Structure 1
Amino acid sequence: MIAYFDCYSGVAGDMIIGAMLDAGLPINYLKKQLNRLSLHGYDLSRKIERRGMIGGVNFQVRLSGQHHRHTGFKDIKRMISSSRLSSPAKDISTAIFETLGLAEAHVHRTSIDKVHFHEVGAIDSIVDIVGAAIGIEYFGFDSIYASEIPMSRGWVKCGHGRMPVPAPATLEILKGVPVISSSVKDEIVTPTGAAILRTIVAEFGINPVSKIKKVGYGLGDKVFKEIPNSLRLLIGEGEPLVVIEANIDDMNPQIYEYLIERLLEKGAVDVTISPALMKKRRPASILSVLCRDHDRDGLVRTILEETTSLGVRHYRVERKILEREFKVVRTKFGNVTVKIAKDGKNVLNVSPEYEDCKKIARIRKVPLKNVMLEALNAWKRSD
Structure 2
Amino acid sequence: MRTLYFDCFSGISGDMVIGALIDAGADPVQMEEELKKLNIDEEYKLSWGKVVKNGITSTKFDVILTSKSEQTHEHSHSHGHEHSHSHGHEHSQEHGHSHSHGHEHSQEHGHSHSHEHNHNHNHSHVLHHHHGSRTYKQIVEAINEANFNESVTNRSLAIFKKIGEAEGHIHGLPLEKVHFHEVGAVDSIIDIIGAAILIDQLGIESVQSSAIPTGTGHIHIDHGIYPVPAPATLEILKGVPIASNDIRFELTTPTGAAIAAVLTETFGSLPAMTVESIGYGAGTKTFENHPNVLRIIIGEIQ
Q: Return the TM-score normalized by structure 1.
A: 0.60
Aligned to 1:193: 256
Q: Is the 8 A contact 2:27 2:198 kept in 1?
A: no
Q: Please give the secondary structure, in 2, of the residue aligned with 1:24.
A: coil
Aligned to 2:291: 228
Aligned to 2:51: 49
Could you tell me how far apart the structure 2 residues matched to 1:228 and 1:174 are?
23
Could you tell me how far apart the structure 2 residues matched to 1:136 and 1:203 are?
17
Once the two structures are TM-superposed, the CA of residue 161 in structure 1 deviates from its matched residue by: 4.5
Confirm whether residue 25 of structure 1 aligns to residue 88 of structure 2: no
Aligned to 1:88: 151
Could you tell me how far apart the structure 2 residues matched to 1:22 and 1:139 are?
12
Q: Is the 8 A contact 1:183 1:226 kept in 2?
A: no
**Bigger proportion of residues as strand:** 1
Q: 2:273 aligns with which of 200, 206, 210?
A: 210
Confirm whether residue 71 of structure 1 aligns to residue 139 of structure 2: no
Aligned to 2:62: 60
Could you tell me how far apart the structure 2 residues matched to 1:172 and 1:211 are?
34
Aligned to 1:35: 36
Q: Which stretch has the larger CA shift, 89-98 or 58-67?
A: 58-67
Could you tell me how far apart the structure 1 residues matched to 2:250 and 2:175 are?
25
Q: Is the 8 A contact 1:147 1:205 kept in 2?
A: yes
1:53-202 mapped onto 2 (5 Å cutoff): 53-65=55-67, 66-68=69-71, 69-202=132-265
Q: How many residues align?
A: 239
Structure 2: stretches of 5+ with no match in the other structure: 72-131
Could you tell me how far apart the structure 1 residues matched to 2:225 and 2:169 are?
19
CA displacement 1:208-252 (0-9 Å, x = unmatched): 2421110000000111224211000000011x4xxxxxxxxxxxx
Structure 1: stretches of 5+ with no match in the other structure: 241-383
Once the two structures are TM-superposed, the CA of residue 159 in structure 1 deviates from its matched residue by: 4.3
Which structure: larger Rg? Answer: 1
Q: Is the 8 A contact 2:20 2:296 kept in 1?
A: yes
The residue identity in structure 1 corresponding to 2:48 is R
The residue identity in structure 1 corresponding to 2:250 is E
Once the two structures are TM-superposed, the CA of residue 87 in structure 1 deviates from its matched residue by: 2.0
Could you tell me how far apart the structure 2 residues matched to 1:161 and 1:59 are?
29
Q: Please give the secondary structure, in 1, of the residue aligned with 2:294.
A: strand
Q: Please give the secondary structure, in 1, of the residue aligned with 2:179.
A: coil
Answer 1 or 2: higher relative contact order, Cα 8 Å, separation at least 6. 2
CA displacement 1:3-33 (0-9 Å, x = unmatched): 1010000000000000000001112111111
How large is the Cα RMSD of the aligned pairs? 1.4
C-alpha change, 1:93 and 1:159, in structure 2 (3 Å) is farther
Could you tell me how far apart the structure 1 residues matched to 2:211 and 2:10 are?
10
CA displacement 1:143-176 (0-9 Å, x = unmatched): 1000011131122234444432111111111111
Could you tell me how far apart the structure 2 residues matched to 1:76 and 1:209 are?
38
Q: Return the TM-score normalized by structure 2.
A: 0.76
CA displacement 1:103-153 (0-9 Å, x = unmatched): 111111221111122221110010000001101111121210000111311
Sequence identity percentage = 43
